[in-house]
Structure 1
Amino acid sequence: MQKRLIRLFAFILLCLLARTANAQQQEMAVLDALDSSFSQYAAGRQTPDLFLHIDKNVYVRQENIWFTGYILGQDTATLQHTLYTLLVEEATKKIVLSDRFIIEAGIGAGTIFLPDSLPTGEYRLLAYTNSYLNHPQQSIFQQPISIRAGESTTFKLSMLPQATPATNTDSVYFTYKVLTGYGGLASGGDLAYTLQVEGKALQSGKKKINPFGEVSFAMLRQQVFGKRLQLQATISREKEKQEIKTVVPLFQDVAIIKLFPESGNLVHDHPSKTAIEIKNGQGVPIATRGQVLANGQPIAQFQTDQYGTGIINWLPQAGVNYTLQITDGSRPLVYQFPPVATTGYSLNLQQAVIKDTSFQIAIGTPGKSTCHLVAHNYRTAFFSGTFRTNQALATLRLSTIDMPEGVVTLTLFDSIGVPKAERAVYIQKGAPLRVQLTTDSTAYHHRAKLQLKVKVTNAAGQPVKSIFSLACVLASRLDSTRAADIVRFQHFDRYLPAPAAMPGTDYLSIGYNIEQILLTRYWTRYKWEEINTAPPYTAQEEKNCNVGYVYYKDRPVKKPVGLMIISGSKTFTLETDSSGYFELPSQALTVELGKKAIILVSDSRNFKDYGLKLHNVCSMLDTALSQVTWPVAGYSKAEQSVQEQEQEQQLLKKAMQAVVVTAKKYDNYFSGTFKSANCSDWVCMYNVLNCQNHPTGSMPVDGASYNYRGRMVVYEGCKGQEKPPGFMQQVNGTAYPKEFYVADYDKFNPTEPEVMSTLFWTYKVLTDEKGEATLQFSTNDLNGRFTCILQGYSMEGVISGKTNFRVTE
């Protein structure tokens, strides 16, 4: 920890008093204790800062999630070799898919296929690296995604108008009308349901739909007020069945106000920049206007934006009755402020977005005081110092020269080291790198060739050599309010004191909006209790997920046994300890996506008498991660029009009906199953087994359903495939990324419609000495607006860019 930096130039305008040697020793001891606690806490949290660029965040089943993982930070990038991914269903907290991929030189890439067995709804993509196995207190990457239905609608849910719930009742009631796909009543049907808040089930059961097509529910008010209540329903009637998930729109006309006093406190005569957040009873932000009243008289005005946040600049006074009043007329409300403390501590900044080499802080104390100040980001401390004041308000100027670009937190302690106030600032150093994406046209026809040029420069216009990934997708499959951005992640997201929903990157291009985020998302009320109780950090040997034991004639062995690992064309050897215990390094399990590595006993004489038992120790870690409740963003749905959805589904159905594949000798097509003769099968991007139009794809999964010769079949694996003997076991490998299929219609122009919403995906693209790169691909048969998003990094910082074009017939 860098302590008491001379560049403080620092105690300007502070009244420093002479202190005795004994007092100085006591102050030094307190500051040293703070330094020690912080260093111990930070040692185990030097996270590798993993960021995932995914192609989009709205999917349908039988699509791929394409992603690139970037390890930000040179110090930890070389230590990361394995990228672990989990896809968790939000409603059930169930891990539905998991895999691991290779990281090389700080970059990993992969793909996750979404089978048609997955229910529609909200999911969370989680990712971490091998260092998390040793340090589970590190942060992980998380990204919400949606999986939507590709099939036609069988049933619809429509909530009936709700009477305004009385504030003095304990329960709330609501009724849904259940309609058929053609608009009729679904009377007599059954509705199995679960009502949940933040992934936790509050109520579940089964109801009969009455003759009016209605189903009624009752909930305790305290369970759902101010929260996002979700109804997960499975509707069945006669031979029709459909699962529907929807947010229950309760308390939409009720406003809930949260107050965020700057640095945590409202203190008499201490200037305060106080943030407010206003949402309705369902948790949806409210954009509105209002005023602050002191004993009934207006003293300040405010306005909240689309995220429901605003700022009030004022000077609180003890003994005054402060209220907040919404004045736009749509939601009359009066909010009572908490009492203002007569004395206390505070930190106040006129400008928290710092572009200069120093900035000034107004420090409020109870009067003549000794205080300690630490500037840090909960990983590294950039300054710590002790000072005395003779008065309740003083000013201090800090240098930013040794502070990195991004969010820095200032924590103020009293004389004995108790945290009293905290304030986040944003250090901005220079202009961001410029990324220019240019297509050779703004509009294209179906199956037209497209050229995209990339140019990266710095603020001075000089070229910057970079490495990046790029996705071009149907714009309606991008929900911008949930989109992750590597620039925002680098400077904001990774410094969040706790997981929180963040607005889009464009929102953070405005200084006032950054101020609102600093006052709300980074308002912590101190984490130093957690810091002071952090256990000592001890470096550990790297752990591996796959471990096991070797047995001889079903008994534990008493001496080391040699093993062999076969991963594709590579072989590795290792030896157990004297008890037969072994760990499988993930670096030795590298295989093609979907394939397995083989582990076997290498004793050539008695190998049949040996047995292997494997255990995945990461499964418990993954289960714990899946149970975490992540913040729900107040996002709107993606902008997919009804026409675009209908067109996409019609083209997809035509594509499925038009594909004809010659049967192999051993398929059992007429029974609805498929048994492979040579284990060389593939599945194309349209979920067609052994597709002749697309001769590359992913490996089929045993038990999964695929389109084959115009109908769905269940894949039953390879003919003659048997369970391996006891001395040999198979384990999921660490996969190399699969290449994205780029259509070239000059070489092959199929008659079937091409309707993938991800038009193009690539990764590890390098710009040249001029900072330029050129990419070529083709449009397909989808109409609409497409968006290309670039994410990457360079030696001068992270980069992101975006452009749009349109496709018509």
Structure 2
Amino acid sequence: MLNSSVMQMIMAKLQLIVLFLLIALAVSAQTVTEKLRTALLHSLPQEKIYLHLDKPSYWVGDTIWFKVYALDAYTHRSDTISSTLFVDIIRTDSSQIIEHQLLKNSNEPIHSSFILSETFRVGVYEIRAYTNWMRNFPEELFFRKEIKILKGNQGRAALDGSARDEIADLQFFPEGGNLVYGLPCRVAFKAINRFGKGVNFKANVISNQNELVADIQSEHLGMGSFSFTPMSGQRYFVKAGKEQKIFYLPEPDPKGYSFFIDNLSDEEFIHVKANCGQCQDKPILFCQQRGTLICSLQSEKEGDSFSWDIKRSEITNEGIVQLTLFNGSGLPQCERLIYSPAQNQLRVFMMPEKKLYGQREKVNLFVRVEDHDGHPVQGNFSLSVTDGSQVTPEEYGMNISNYLHLTSDIFSLTQSELKGTIEQPGYYFDRANKDAAAQLDILLMTQGWRRFIWSDVLSSPQRGAIYPIEKGISISGTALPSNGKAFAKPINISLLSYNAQGMPNYFTTKTGGEGKFQFTGIDATSESRFFLLGPKNNGGKDVKFILDPPDLPAIRRNAISIFYDQASTLQPDTTVSIKNTRFLKEVIVKDSKIKNEPKKDPRRVMYEGLNTYVYKVDQKSCNYYSSVLSMLKGRVPSISIGTKANTKDITSYSSENYTVTLREQRSFNGTLTKVIYLVDGAMVTQGSLDAVRPCDIESVEIITGAVSMLNAHAVISVLSKTGGGTAKDEEGNSYENGVYIKGYHVTREFYSPKYMVTDNMSSQKQDSRSTLYWNPKIKTDDFGRAKVVFWNSDQKTKVNVRLEGISNQGQPVFATTFYSVE
């Protein structure tokens, strides 16, 4: 028998071993938790983009007016990470980009427009918006919105996909992600038609032994839920639809976790339960919202049944909350999304002076935004006013609030459904809808968290960014000698361009492997001309530049394309205009009408269609002149070119020594009108005209009317013989290889007429605008107030007013009102 001293030694060692085991377990748990925290903290920053459109649908010949909100994905505050934004109009039947714009993200409100020319085909299109940085993440994160383009009543019935009630797909979503034999589980389901729209139905869940398991019935847009316990060895299916198609539930696993979240019954807590079949574990419940950790809770002891309570007060923001269950080893087992409602919503007051107006009457509209305590709120907003007899508001449609809080953070798990869209998102935020919260909870059982996937975030090392943050327009390509072989060593190349103010910019870089080069941070508007220069020791003339084609995200054909394939009322003989998107090589147009059109000169895009005087350069006498303006002096009827004081010899002075004015024409405010200068479509300063030799010019075009795209009343456009293939910098270096690159889109302003009381309505053209007013630049003052003024049209109608925007603190604002015109 052991003596007491030996026993004490043994007991001390056992206690030490137990202590070490407890410490090891604690360190292990801490390691898993800290790994999750670190992964969340170091995940790449993300952006969100939202577009406010003036209307939900359009007619051929209309203009789409839109405001862009570029935001930080987590704080929802204005984001300036990316300086360049891309907005596309995509034809969903052929996966073609019909219109493509580059917009500059600066401190000013970002807004633009698309003109829907008469050649647009009736159908369903998609507007897509993104940044280059957003391409590092799933493309479901891009902003996408479906719009319908109509021509009279043509195509209305065919484009209404929601009218089709045949089930094309029915899928089932066990809560948390898995069915496990022997564990009770709630299962959500969703039925959709071939258009991707929800279809309501009734059916039975049946086992493979032909036993009735449950009666199910959808509650909203084909969605609903039921509970059951899968039995070992059984498979389950549903027969649904007119054709009684068979749709199988997921096959249960022999072991694993089941998950149950109660987000509705308790105003103070969210209740979470988990069961583990055929296992003993200490799982961890991890909760996050928009990249911010809410809680990390680990079970205190091993077992097969667990429960947690999460205080709602710990969730400070409105929106999606991601709850993920990890096993003791830190591997994700279950996931569920819930919605945290707003605790302190902003209040918006939008008030016209009265509810009843007359035709062409002036409207004063007052806006006030305040927080829940009545304090004023400053922010950035946009306002659309539309004719209710022509524009029908979307029922439960997308707005900036439900997009930022819901749609932008989740994606559909239904494989057949259009990714990145939520049908009728406004339904779940209708305060008059008593079932909204319950239906939203079911919706979120059919959705996945789209901002990141835990397996990617936890991978070590994490995947880096492939697409860089853009701080301007980029030009890349390959520089090769005239023989086409790579240079033996890197060479210096330069780029000459002109910024939005017409000032020349010079960029230099050195080629990399195989002659690759890239210029970044370029600021240019519209379709601009750029000039490339090789090494100075050989004049750059033996360097061949091959530009990289535009790198655009892939376009996925989706269920909406059926509108074109199946809708017999759509007219096949109409064509699609691809003006301003000629560089998109993947756009192939086979229509004979497009083929037979003469090729348009992109150098004239700024003033095409305006009255133009053309001066043809005399090649015999051009050597007599040293500059463009000296050559034009006294030879153009619509402008007057004079010389500054003490200028005697007009052949020996630069363009800056001349004054240019319009003959007997002044602007509305009495000052001399503004003259803009272009060289092969690129805006330049007057002094920069010296970069072009007169004998290199084919013609000079003079426009002396209002040129809205350039905000000018006169334009002098110089067109070179080579189409802009040559230019000179201040040192006299010759820049060859002129190329056109699409620059930032030139913004147009919405025209809103101002009617006077004395106007005679019968003597003027009928005003039947569908959009009465559009203002993308509204900002509330220190008192949270703003005022806008506009005039009604000639229509006796209900007028709908819609305000969207974001506060300086990142809170979305959405409000509507209306008044009548009689």
TM-score clears 0.5: yes
Richer in strand (by share): 1
**Deviation, structure 1 residue 103:** 0.9
Residue among 782, 789, 792 paired with 1:776:
789
Q: Say if 2:523 is the partner of 1:589.
A: yes
Assess if the C-alpha contact under 8 Å between 1:121 and 1:148 holds in 2: yes
Give the fraction of aligned pairs with identical amino acids, expressed as a percent: 19
**Deviation, structure 1 residue 98:** 0.7
Residue in 1 aligned with 2:94? 92
**Could you report, residue by residue, the CA deviation over 1:241-282 in whole angstroms, capped at 9, with x for unpaired residues?**
xxx9897998x4558543222112344675544322234576
Residue in 2 aligned with 1:494? 408
Assess if the C-alpha contact under 8 Å between 1:784 and 1:806 holds in 2: yes
Residue in 1 aligned with 2:444? 518
Amino acid at match of 1:452: L
- The 1:552/1:272 distance shift into structure 2, 3 A limit, reads closer
Q: How many Å separate the matches in 1 of 2:743 and 2:89? A: 18
Assess if the C-alpha contact under 8 Å between 2:197 and 2:423 holds in 1: no
Q: How many Å separate the matches in 1 of 2:254 and 2:469? A: 53
Query: Secondary structure of 1:506's match?
Result: helix
Residue in 2 aligned with 1:420? 333
**Deviation, structure 1 residue 364:** 1.4
Q: How many Å separate the matches in 1 of 2:375 and 2:156? A: 56
Q: How many Å separate the matches in 1 of 2:249 and 2:516? A: 62
Q: How many Å separate the matches in 2 of 1:248 and 1:485? A: 20
**Deviation, structure 1 residue 799:** 0.7
Assess if the C-alpha contact under 8 Å between 1:270 and 1:393 holds in 2: no
Amino acid at match of 1:547: S
Assess if the C-alpha contact under 8 Å between 2:478 and 2:548 holds in 1: no
Q: How does 1:248-647 map to 2 (within 5 A)?
A: 252-253=165-166, 257-267=170-180, 270=183, 272-280=185-193, 283-288=196-201, 303-312=217-226, 314=227, 316=229, 318=231, 344-351=256-263, 356=268, 358-366=269-277, 368-377=280-289, 379-389=291-301, 391-399=303-311, 401=314, 404-475=317-388, 476-477=390-391, 480=394, 483-497=397-411, 499-509=419-429, 510-522=436-448, 527-531=453-457, 536-538=462-464, 542=469, 545-548=474-477, 559-567=491-499, 568-577=501-510, 583-586=518-521, 588-591=522-525, 594=526, 596=528, 598-599=530-531, 601=533, 609=541, 613=545, 615=547, 619-620=550-551, 622=552, 624-626=553-555, 628-629=556-557
In structure 1, list runs of 5 or more residues that go unmatched.
Answer: 1-17, 159-243, 636-670, 685-694, 696-700, 703-716
551-560 or 508-517, larger mean C-alpha shift: 551-560
Taking CA–CA contacts closer than 8 Å with sequence separation of 6 or more, which of the two structures ends up with the larger relative contact order?
Answer: 2
Query: Secondary structure of 2:133's match?
Result: helix
- The 1:611/1:245 distance shift into structure 2, 3 A limit, reads farther
In structure 2, list runs of 5 or more residues that go unmatched.
Answer: 1-16, 413-418, 430-435, 564-596, 611-667, 669-679, 682-715, 727-735
- What is the alpha-carbon root mean square deviation over aligned residues? 4.8
263-272 or 568-577, larger mean C-alpha shift: 263-272
57-66 or 128-137, larger mean C-alpha shift: 128-137
- The 1:398/1:98 distance shift into structure 2, 3 A limit, reads same
Query: Secondary structure of 2:176's match?
Result: helix
102-111 or 797-806, larger mean C-alpha shift: 102-111
Query: Secondary structure of 2:554's match?
Result: helix
**Could you report, residue by residue, the CA deviation over 1:682-711 in whole angstroms, capped at 9, with x for unpaired residues?**
789xxxxxxxxxx9xxxxx99xxxxxxxxx
402-411 or 62-71, larger mean C-alpha shift: 402-411
Residue in 1 aligned with 2:816? 802
> What TM-score do you get using the length of structure 2 for normalisation?
0.64
Q: How many Å separate the matches in 1 of 2:355 and 2:538? A: 69
**Could you report, residue by residue, the CA deviation over 1:619-670 in whole angstroms, capped at 9, with x for unpaired residues?**
23x1x332x34675999xxxxxxxxxxxxxxxxxxxxxxxxxxxxxxxxxxx
Amino acid at match of 2:45: Q
- The 1:142/1:410 distance shift into structure 2, 3 A limit, reads same
529-538 or 70-79, larger mean C-alpha shift: 529-538
Q: How many Å separate the matches in 2 of 1:37 and 1:58? A: 45
**Deviation, structure 1 residue 679:** 8.2
- The 1:289/1:381 distance shift into structure 2, 3 A limit, reads same
**Could you report, residue by residue, the CA deviation over 1:30-51 in whole angstroms, capped at 9, with x for unpaired residues?**
7746865885688564211121
Q: How many Å separate the matches in 2 of 1:392 and 1:63? A: 62
- The 1:435/1:319 distance shift into structure 2, 3 A limit, reads same
Query: Secondary structure of 2:119's match?
Result: coil
- The 1:602/1:23 distance shift into structure 2, 3 A limit, reads same
- The 1:488/1:764 distance shift into structure 2, 3 A limit, reads same
Residue among 753, 764, 769 paired with 2:777:
764
- The 1:598/1:31 distance shift into structure 2, 3 A limit, reads same
Assess if the C-alpha contact under 8 Å between 1:438 and 1:453 holds in 2: yes
- The 1:116/1:608 distance shift into structure 2, 3 A limit, reads farther
Q: How many Å separate the matches in 2 of 1:137 and 1:612? A: 35
Residue in 2 aligned with 1:11? none
**Deviation, structure 1 residue 145:** 1.5
Q: Say if 2:729 is the partner of 1:730.
A: no
**Deviation, structure 1 residue 468:** 0.4
Assess if the C-alpha contact under 8 Å between 1:70 and 1:108 holds in 2: yes
Residue in 2 aligned with 1:652? none
Q: How does 1:219-230 map to 2 (within 5 A)?
A: none
Residue in 1 aligned with 2:624? none
Amino acid at match of 1:465: Q
- The 1:331/1:758 distance shift into structure 2, 3 A limit, reads same
**Could you report, residue by residue, the CA deviation over 1:437-493 in whole angstroms, capped at 9, with x for unpaired residues?**
222344444433222221212223332222101112344545625843111122112
- The 1:447/1:559 distance shift into structure 2, 3 A limit, reads same
Q: How many Å separate the matches in 1 of 2:176 and 2:212? A: 24
**Deviation, structure 1 residue 531:** 4.6
- The 1:339/1:530 distance shift into structure 2, 3 A limit, reads same
Residue in 2 aligned with 1:77? 79
**Deviation, structure 1 residue 407:** 0.9
Assess if the C-alpha contact under 8 Å between 1:280 and 1:286 holds in 2: yes
Residue among 736, 745, 748 paired with 2:755:
745
- The 1:298/1:779 distance shift into structure 2, 3 A limit, reads farther
- The 1:41/1:612 distance shift into structure 2, 3 A limit, reads farther
Q: How does 1:619-698 map to 2 (within 5 A)?
A: 619-620=550-551, 622=552, 624-626=553-555, 628-629=556-557, 681=607
Residue in 2 aligned with 1:57? 56
- The 1:35/1:348 distance shift into structure 2, 3 A limit, reads same
Amino acid at match of 1:69: V
Assess if the C-alpha contact under 8 Å between 1:78 and 1:106 holds in 2: no
Larger radius of gyration: 2
Query: Secondary structure of 1:484's match?
Result: coil
> What TM-score do you get using the length of structure 1 for normalisation?
0.65
Q: How does 1:141-180 map to 2 (within 5 A)?
A: 141-149=143-151
345-354 or 36-45, larger mean C-alpha shift: 36-45
Assess if the C-alpha contact under 8 Å between 2:93 and 2:561 holds in 1: no
**Deviation, structure 1 residue 532:** 5.2
Assess if the C-alpha contact under 8 Å between 1:453 and 1:775 holds in 2: yes
